[in-house]
A = this chain, B = another copy of it.
Amino acid sequence: MTDKDFSVTPWEVSGVVDYARLIRDFGTQPLTEELGRKFSALAGEKHLAIERGVYYSHRDLDLVLKDYEAGKKFFLYTGRGPSGPMHIGHIIQFYLTSWLQKRFGVNTYVQLTDDEKFLEEKSPTLEETNRWAKENALDIAAAGFDPDRTFIFQDTEYIGNIYRLAVKVARKVNFSVVRAVFGFTGETNIGFAFYPAVQVVPSLFEDSRCLIPCAIDQDPFWRVQRDIAESLGYRKAAALHSKFLPPLTGVAGKMSASMPETAIYLSDTPEQVRQKIWKNAFSGGRATIEEHRRLGGDPDVDVPYLWLQMFFEGDDAKLKKLHDDYVSGKLLSGEMKEVLIEKVTRFLKGHQERRERARDSLDSFTRSGRLASAMWAKTYGLDTKEINRG
């Protein structure tokens, strides 16, 4: 969806996103407090991303939970476009997904869309997206997934197992649809035009409901999925949509690997974290200490505060104190930055250690684990599941 003030597509986000407007324009449902409570109750644990409204919209989450209450399993599907190193905005999704996996005991599929990123012409070569897929897989594995219940795959490697189903999906989607949904034009290359079919396929991997935790910009794919899934004999995908973690530089757009100043990478050192947050983090503080003490800061535009609120400060009381002290002028913007620096540094230290350990377990996720080896033995689209509707 595009607007004069902001634009959100699966490949670009610019301007200050009006999230409520996206719910209306995409036709999704707001994640109500009531549904959030039910969700936490069934999970047996609260999750920050739900409590703090990072996940704020959904499709059919209520039906997924109803299935679950009735003893029916669902499965999780999420993905990553491997065009470069991952940053903090990317990994949040995966930590939530691994939490969902643990709490609900379900299979999880992670698609690395090396074909998409090459076809998007985001990377000069396919070899580069292949290489990033391998690198990114380590970060994803580090997010705490169950190696026997998680399958991490790269499109160009797994395509032999899914092409038949992709072709069945593709036959249901014409160019006018992808033009309307994704804004494709005559300039769009034919591989990129086909690609949405490849992204739809994993939502059909199991004969149960698929729940897709993703940033809201990916929703157009699920709209296409939901239009065609039932005619192929499958279920409509459910989705749980997150807001974007704002770029360091301010609340407009999203963190971008191509604009390094906007992001903290998962590989950043403590020194880099400190330097980036001090230098680039947009502050809601005042121009001088004196003024700040007198008038107070604005946490709603203060990126360090927003990061703490969305991901890094799990303690509600502590967060509230940060908020109130900032508003009152008691807490300076430099002090807010220091709080974030400490949190980010600690998080990255843990993540980087898990990433190193993931080198040993990666093969379980991609090839040898219980789910991965079962997936390599499967070919999707072999049976005539589709309901012929002429």
Q: Which A residues form the contact surface with B (CB < 8 A)?
A: 115, 118-119, 121, 124-127, 156, 159-161, 163-164, 166-179, 184-194, 196-197, 381-384, 386, 388
Which residues of chain B are within 8 angstroms of A168 by Cβ–Cβ distance? 118, 126
Which residues of chain B are within 8 angstroms of A384 by Cβ–Cβ distance? 125-127
Which residues of chain B are within 8 angstroms of A115 by Cβ–Cβ distance? 163, 167
Instruction: Enumerate 6 A-B pairs (CB-CB under 8 Å) in ascending A order.
Output: A126-B381, A126-B384, A127-B382, A170-B189, A170-B190, A171-B191
Query: In the bound complex, how far is the Cα of B171 from the Cα of A124, in angstroms?
Result: 11
- Distance in angstroms from A127 CB to nearest chain B CB is 5
Query: In the bound complex, how far is the Cα of B175 from the Cα of A62, in angstroms?
Result: 39
Cβ contact of A159, chosen from B163, B175, B177, cutoff 8 A: B163
Counting every copy of the chain, the complex holds 2
Query: In the bound complex, how far is the Cα of B188 from the Cα of A184, in angstroms?
Result: 14
Cβ contact of A176, chosen from B161, B163, B186, cutoff 8 A: B186
Is the pair B186, A190 in contact by a Cβ cutoff of 8 Å? no
Is the pair B171, A118 in contact by a Cβ cutoff of 8 Å? yes
Additional 6 contacts, C-beta under 8 A, given A118-B171, A174-B189, A190-B197: A115-B167, A121-B171, A126-B384, A160-B160, A174-B186, A178-B190
With contacts A164-B156, A167-B115 known, is A190 near B194, CB below 8 A? Answer: yes
Which residues of chain B are within 8 angstroms of A184 by Cβ–Cβ distance? 175
With contacts A126-B168, A164-B126 known, is A175 near B190, CB below 8 A? Answer: yes
Q: Which of A126, A185, A194: most chain B CB closer than 10 A?
A: A194
Which residues of chain B are within 8 angstroms of A127 by Cβ–Cβ distance? 382-384
Which residues of chain B are within 8 angstroms of A381 by Cβ–Cβ distance? 126
- Distance in angstroms from A135 CB to nearest chain B CB is 18
Which residues of chain B are within 8 angstroms of A156 by Cβ–Cβ distance? 163-164, 167
Query: In the bound complex, how far is the Cα of B178 from the Cα of A127, in angstroms?
Result: 26
Is the pair B164, A163 in contact by a Cβ cutoff of 8 Å? no
With contacts A160-B160, A175-B175, A388-B124 known, is A167 near B186, CB below 8 A? Answer: no
Which residues of chain B are within 8 angstroms of A161 by Cβ–Cβ distance? 160
Is the pair B187, A170 in contact by a Cβ cutoff of 8 Å? no
Cβ contact of A171, chosen from B160, B176, B187, B189, cutoff 8 A: B189
